[in-house]
Amino acid sequence: MSGSSLWEWVRGYVIIKVTGRMLEKFVNMAAARRIGLHEVTHLGPGVMFAGG
């Protein structure tokens, strides 16, 4: 295992579903707190999935 992939394994990975209004604000707040969200997918009005 390379150092990078080992670190990802140790840190973990979650998939979340966020629903509601103001999804952009949620993403901005996560970024401000240095919480990385990757592979953000909008499924429709008020629904998104993200991994991090």
Task: Identify whether 43 is part of a domain.
Answer: yes
Task: Identify whether 2 is part of a domain.
Answer: no
The pLDDT of residue 2: 58
Task: Identify whether 33 is part of a domain.
Answer: yes
* Segment 2-51, tens digit of pLDDT: 556 776 667 777 888 999 999 989 999 999 998 888 888 988 899 998 87
Cα 7 to Cα 30: distance, rounded to the nearest angstrom? 21
This prediction has a pTM of 0.64
Task: Identify whether 39 is part of a domain.
Answer: yes
Cβ atoms of residues 16 and 49 within 8 Å? yes
The pLDDT of residue 3: 58
Query: Which domain, by its residues, includes 30?
Result: 12-51
Task: Identify whether 37 is part of a domain.
Answer: yes
The pLDDT of residue 6: 72
The pLDDT of residue 50: 84
Split at pLDDT 50, 70, 90, the class of 1 is: low
Closest alpha carbon to 9 in 20, 1, 19: 1
**Structural domain count, the chain:** 1
